[in-house]
Amino acid sequence: MPENSVIFFDGICNLCNGAVQFVIERDRQNYFKFAALQSEFAKNALSNAELKVKHGDSFVLLENGKVYEQSTAALKVARKLSGLWPLLYGFIVVPPFIRNAIYKFIARNRYKWFGKQESCWVPTPELKSKFLT
């Protein structure tokens, strides 16, 4: 298991791929690695995790051996980014059932609003080291 925190994302979702690129641009400390939820690495790394939502329908963060999902994962990622993005972590005080209701609404509509790809996004050679397969 890599020492970095790993962000697991839906590899065919345009919104998710955009979010990964957003994080890469703002991850100045090179803190995160990435893996598509459809990858073998994700299947192995998350095999013992009891995910709240079905596999492939969530944004998952594996950090220090602990699994975070949905809005909690997103807020924990924001906390590590450069710029003003860590301020979003303040929303962690909002009860998870409220945060996750908004998250789930967006997740349910992500393909309709943002579309999807036929296959997982392939990173450029410069970024390949950030991705786990």
Q: How far apart are CA 109 and CA 119, in angstroms?
A: 19
What phi, psi does 69 have (nearest 5°)? -125, 170
pLDDT tens per residue, range 118-127: 666 566 777 7
Domain count, the chain: 1
Q: What is the CA radius of gyration of the chain?
A: 14
Q: Which neighbouring-strand residues pair with 60? A: 8, 69
**30 lies in which domain range?**
5-130
Q: Supply 70's token pair.
A: 């949905």
Q: Are 20 and 13 in contact (CB under 8 A)?
A: no
> How do residues 21-77 score in pLDDT, each as one tens digit?
999 999 999 999 999 888 899 888 888 877 765 655 678 999 998 999 999 999 999
pLDDT for the residue numbered 87: 97
pLDDT of 1 reads: 45
